[in-house]
Amino acid sequence: MGSKNKLKRFKENETFPNVIQPTRQEVTNGFVYQGNWKAHFKNDHPIVLELGCGKGEYTIGLAKRNPHKNFIGIDIKGARFWRGAKTALEEELSNVAFLRTQIELVDLLFGKNEVSEIWITFPDPQIKYKRTKHRMTNAAFLEKYKRILEPQGLMHLKTDSEFMHGYTLGLLHGMGLDVIYANHDVYKNEGSPKDVLEIQTFYENQYLEKGKPITYIQFRIH
């Protein structure tokens, strides 16, 4: 994407009512919507997050299927989620928002038990050992998710990375957490949830064309 295109998208994002772009200082000094997202959505419907949302395909796809839930796509790359934000406005999806911020701040963006579900879709697996702290399912991140999830809140991890799948499963078992469903090739094995099979991201389509298996884990943190 050319820099002119990026700048155009950044400028458009600033005009979109469904895009929120707080500074790091605004987040760390007491974020205006923390514990009060109903003020943005003007309802108290359950909140579902997509972390590292990219173009926002899951945020949009889930929002269309579940009009009585609110969906928030979070990513630091505003030029990417511009597409999802624009689609949501064009299709009048009032239950969609996009938040441009770092995911490690997630527990400062939402109040205790404010979130009902979290989707992590095709994250960078950060395979090198020294990158462990950046893995979005490491123990520190799981602790942040636990703080904002309601007690029976669900986590979803969908990835093309066998490494990330195995790492996460091992960690969950080691911590004694509830693995509800795990599948290392969702399109070959029966029983995968519809939301996993019927919503596909831009990158997922590329992986499928190359014949890469797509993995999925659904779990709870308690």
Q: Which residues pair with 152 in a beta bridge?
A: none
Neighbouring CB atoms inside 10 A of 148's CB total 22
3-state secondary structure of 121: strand
d(CA 22, CA 10): 14
**Residue 124 designated active-site:** yes
Distance CA 15, CA 115 (A): 26
- Coil, strand, or helix at residue 197? helix
* Residue in 107, 124, 185, 195 annotated catalytic: 124
User: CA 200, 186, 222, 173 torsion: positive or negative?
Assistant: negative
**Pairing status of strand 215-220 against strand 96-100:** unpaired
Sign of CA dihedral 183, 212, 134, 132: positive
Residue pair 102/21 in contact (Cβ under 8 Å)? The answer is no
Residue 125, classed as helix, strand or coil, is coil
Catalytic residues: 124
